[in-house]
Amino acid sequence: MESVYDIDTREVVACDEAFFTALLGADPDLLGTILADDFVIIDVLSGQVACRAELLDAIRSGQLRFTEVTRYAEERSVRLRPPAAVVTGRTRMVLRYQGDEATAHSRYTHVRTRENGRWRLMSAQGTPTRAPGMSAERPLFCDTALAGRIERAEVQLIAQSSEAARRRAATAGFVIPVAGGVASFAGDGSPYNKVAGLGFGGVPDPAFSMKSRRPSPPAVPRCRSSSPTWPTPPSALCWPGGVTGSNRSRTCWAVPSQMDPSG
């Protein structure tokens, strides 16, 4: 005769299998009978936390699909602390999210509790055992619109900080728009000497890309003027140059043609 402990263990393992079966079958109704009302899951790929409703909606809408779930029964462990049970195990899952496919190798922890005579899943967490394999060009769960907003904010910050740094140090430099981003130089050793946001405004001009690979000649003084309204030639950028006597002057630096995004 089976002991109560053995019966509970068998039931918990059956419920664990039912969870994976519901994922594979994209069955939100079955999944709804398995998950506790306050269920939460920590995503194995992104580490994000989702609640019961979010997981069910993703399955129901087809955003999330599991095409393979390999379980390793010999590595599954059940610990009973009635009315709770903790299950640990290892899986290999192939899933698709918003059209992107990934393969996840992980160890998981499931926490269950007995409610009204049934075992319900309260919490699920996966820990990757190796880097996920992705077939898509963009990362799974990546919001490219959010990434674009972050890049544009960085571009604005770099451009403004670069100009402020140049003004404080009274040095020459440049900020050049490039394919929605910016190329900035604020002086030797400046942290604002960088390119940011490249590509979020469209594909860069191939001519610019090819030219930028060639070594750039050093900038050389082009002219000096004490007039604040001195006209700037199209091929030059002017920044505060320094103080001569009581008059502030400006140094105009030639912009190398290969740094000109217009080609």
CA distance 246 to 244: 6
Task: Provide the 10 A C-beta neighbour count for residue 167.
Answer: 13
pLDDT at position 234, please? 35
To which residue do tokens 């040095």 refer? 171
How do residues 131-151 score in pLDDT, each as one tens digit? 776 554 444 444 566 667 777
205, 261 contact by CB (below 8 A): yes
pLDDT at position 199, please? 63
pLDDT at position 181, please? 78
> What domains appear along the chain, each with residue ranges and CATH number?
4-134 (3.10.450.50), 144-259 (no CATH)
pLDDT at position 143, please? 53
pLDDT at 207 over 60: no
Cis peptide before 218 (omega within 30 of 0): no
Closest CA to 257 of 232, 230, 236, 231: 236
Q: Which has the higher per-residue pLDDT, 255 or 67? A: 67
CA distance 244 to 229: 17
Most confident of 91-95, 193-197, 203-207, 254-258: 91-95
How do residues 1-15 score in pLDDT, each as one tens digit? 778 889 899 999 999
pLDDT at 56 over 80: yes
Cα 48 vs. chain centroid, distance in angstroms?
12
Q: Which has the higher per-residue pLDDT, 147 or 58? A: 58
Share of the chain above pLDDT 90, in %: 41
Task: State mean pLDDT over 50-77.
Answer: 95
E strands present in 72-115: 77-81, 84-97, 100-115
Task: State mean pLDDT over 179-183.
Answer: 75
170, 162 contact by CB (below 8 A): no
114, 103 contact by CB (below 8 A): no
Task: State mean pLDDT over 96-117.
Answer: 92
Q: Which has the higher per-residue pLDDT, 170 or 128? A: 128
How do residues 22-43 score in pLDDT, each as one tens digit? 999 999 999 999 999 999 999 9
